[in-house]
Amino acid sequence: MEFEIMEKIFIEYSSEPDLNDPILIEGLPGVGNVGKLAAEHLIDKLDAVKFADIYSKFFPPQVLVGNDGVVRLVSNELYYYKAKESEQRDLLFLVGDYQGLTPEGQYEISIKILEIAEKFNVKKIFTLGGYGLGRMVETARVLGAATSAELVKEMKDHGVVFQEGEPGSGIVGASGLLLGIGQLKDMEGVCLMGETSGYFVDPKSAQAVLEILTKILKVDIDFKELETKASQIDKITSQLRDIEAKGAETTPDDLHYIG
């Protein structure tokens, strides 16, 4: 890899796919890792192909160590999926280990991603994330934000909830910036946010987001792996509720991070 050390953002392409009017889907880490789980599950089930790694000084200064003891520099990744059916669209995925650490980094990385999107003639973006409630959630709704009133209406027809009439709130990070800056580049976009406690990685919320997104994209995938992870989380949260009810100060022995 020819990596100019002084570059702020470096992209290493393994190939450059020929895509027809693709939709960009972002699923970077965030609240409950909802967007990351959803996008990675969709990539896996569609057998999407990785074609680029993104490295940046705006990411944390570290390497990740694999199960085999081998290290790799933290990165974001780009994948593509070629439509198999006439009613489907080609897809471009952005996933990764981290978002930018600073406001400057968030902006610069988002701008770079949109430059790549322009190169592939992307006109529509879906960003995926979690909407933290700070409490346990039994059934997750999918909340939305969009770049036009027309898209708001279209997403409502798919079951997305828009908090109209309530005090405005912001969308922090890539999920918001890709839509806001993309709008300046004449790209339309939607953010889909699954309700989550924010306490754990939340596969149930990720599934709620995907159930809507896959209908929009007209793709059919299996959710069994997400359901298995969700049952693990449910077991942990049930134990926590029991502990809270008893006023105990200990935590369950098997309380851990489900990835």
Q: Is the dihedral of CA 194, 197, 198, 203 positive or negative?
A: negative
Question: pLDDT digit string (tens) for 121-131?
Answer: 999 999 999 99
| Superfamily in which the 9-223 domain is placed by CATH | PAC-like subunit (3.40.50.10900)
Helix%, strand%, coil% for the chain, nearest 5: 35, 25, 40
Question: pLDDT digit string (tens) for 70-96?
Answer: 999 999 999 999 999 999 999 999 999
Higher pLDDT, 1 or 172: 172
How do the domains of the chain map onto residue ranges?
9-223
Q: What predicted TM-score, i.e. pTM, was given to this entire model? A: 0.88
Question: Residues 6 or more apart from 12 whose CB is under 8 A from it?
Answer: 1, 3, 52, 53, 54, 55
The phi, psi pair for 82, rounded to 5°, reads -90, 130
Question: pLDDT digit string (tens) for 152-193?
Answer: 999 999 999 998 756 667 899 999 999 999 999 999 999 999
Higher pLDDT, 224 or 95: 95
